[in-house]
A and B are shown apart, each in its own frame.
Chain A
Amino acid sequence: MTRGRLVWANLMRHRWRTILTTLSVAVAMFLFATLRSFGTTLDSLSQFGSANRMVVRHATAIVFPLQMSYTQRLATVEGVTGVSWANWFGGWYQDPKVFFANFAVDGPSFTALYPEILIPEEQKQEWLRDRAGAVVGVDLMEKYGWRVGQNVVLNGTIFPGEWQFTIRATYTSRTRAFDERSFMFHYAYLDERTEHRAQPGWFYLAIANGDDAPRIAATVDEMFRNSNAPTKTMTEQAFQASWMGMFGNVRTLMNAIGMAVVFAILLVTGNAMMMSARERTGEVAVLKAIGFGNRTVGAIELAEAGVVALTGTLLGVGGATLLWKNIRVAAIEQFIPGFQVAGNTIWIGAGIALLLTLVSGLVPAVRASRMNVVAALRTVE
């Protein structure tokens, strides 16, 4: 036998109480890790983006279109080395309730601006050659079981009607700024089918030097200040952050709920550990009578709390980490692509486990170490 065996034997004294307490810690930590991950995933998404790319959108909101004529003027701004444009299509496939991102891009300039989006060269050429061709992220391909060469019909919402595309290429992404669940097709096809009424929703700018971004933003916005479609120009990172900023209050709420759950479980676990320790007052007195020191009996109590807290945290945070790494929930991915538990959440979880151990185990541990053996033995004799 070892002291560890003694700790384990004490925990197994009321097997179901220990299991249920551990599970309650696990559920609380799962919720904490999941709720916190909304914030951390949004944060990480908002930090993506190249320092050498900028986005130009309508000054009022991204839903308002810009004008195609801006392309040439943007290219003349000092420091701008490339211009591309895109527009949100908003079509649905088979079921209007099932969402995935689909938009029109200018193929040649877009692929030049986004080297992180990897398209096999042969497929890329096929796509660029086919006006009704589409390039689709590998995740989306897998989700619908699509294959290259297959025809796919999207039903337009902003641009009504049935739109038939042929998947010519798939892409993978080396940046989390771009997920692998998007469907992109040629802006020229959109323009043609709408009888040249399409307008770019936003422009992408490639710039030679990231340090020039503030000047370029000011120059561009000044250039279109008095036009029908004034602009707001920002770095790609700021553009991402502006999307994610919409979740600001939700993130605060989720964090608050996560912490409240942890606090509640702190009280529950503390109560369970104290109840367990109180039941064993006589046994602790016996241990001390046969020579177990104050520190040893205190450490045994603390170790019991530690096993419950650490096991629960491991199950909860570990479960959340594995689950969200391997399972993609459409309802979450729709708004927060790449949702997963961040590394620092795992460390914070470990910190909470330690805190839980101290808060729930410290009182019984101190009580056990300070116990008057004679008085305690009198209660059991």
Chain B
Amino acid sequence: MPLVELSDVHKSFHRDSQVIEIFTGLDLGFEAGSFTAIMGPSGSGKSTLMNLIAGLDKPTSGTITVGGEAISGYRPAQLAGWRSRHVGFVFQSYNLLPVLTAAQNVELPLLLTSLRKSERRERVEVALGVVGLSDRMDHYPRQLSGGQEQRVAIARAIVSDPTLVLLDEPTGQLDAKSAAEVLELLRRLNEEFHKTILVVTHDPHAAQKAKVVLHLEKGELLEKGAVAR
């Protein structure tokens, strides 16, 4: 059974009096340990798909199951708790809190756990070590380059050892060198640490690093009923 499974997922938005259909019966699955890139033009539903899998949004109908849990039926409070345990998020514009140091930003998801301060500190050091920023722990985001900021964001996403790491255009604001470093890091996370990674991207170079590339167009998956392995 896939780690993530979407069955007959429908999603529509209301804009004024109009109903905009994004997905009409989407079926899709991701195996544990997969590294998938979802590509597609703007408006194809990539970000909506990621929001649904992350439990930030709910489908109009259909079922989304992650690790055997049918999250599509969860209430918002349940979803928040579930996200803190199972989802690591990386955004296009890093979204680090400017008033916190790199270490403090990485520690944020751990504040929702029952870990002791020393355990949290240990995990933060490991996560920043994995992304190669052990020497930047006490730097504030304004003191880091874009690539470093994105690596801190990745450390924040993996620090709680989530089931899934979701990345929305992670190289969208980076120069070529920084983008290559980030993509290499994602490859390592997948191959060495067996993280299940889903990347939404426009960037063909980013997609090349993935083991599976899926294409969305107008809410339709070109690879029908695909299961990314």
Contacts and interface: CB of A to CB of B under 8 A. Distances in A.
A381 B92 contact: yes
Interface stretch (B37-45, B108-116, B126-134, B221-229): B108-116
B215 interface: no
B56 A291 contact: no
Given A374-B51, A381-B93, A381-B168, A291 B84 contact: yes
Interface string B76-101: 11001111110111011101011110
Contacts of B76: 294
B9 to A, nearest CB: 16
Contacts of A288: 80
Interface string A280-299: 00110011111111111000
Contact of B99 (A9, A292, A377, A381): A9
Contacts of A10: 99
B156 interface: yes
Contacts of B109: 290-291
B54 interface: yes
A214 B89 CA distance: 81
B107 interface: yes
A327 interface: no
A294 B91 CA distance: 21
A1 B107 contact: yes
B115 to A, nearest CB: 12
A373 interface: yes
A63 interface: no
Contacts of B54: 289
A294 B81 CA distance: 10
B57 interface: yes
A287 B80 CA distance: 10
Contact of B81 (A282, A287, A289, A293): A293
Given A2-B111, A286-B91, A291 B100 contact: no
B171 interface: no
B104 A1 contact: yes
A292 B120 CA distance: 17
A2 B121 CA distance: 12
Interface string A211-226: 0000000000000000
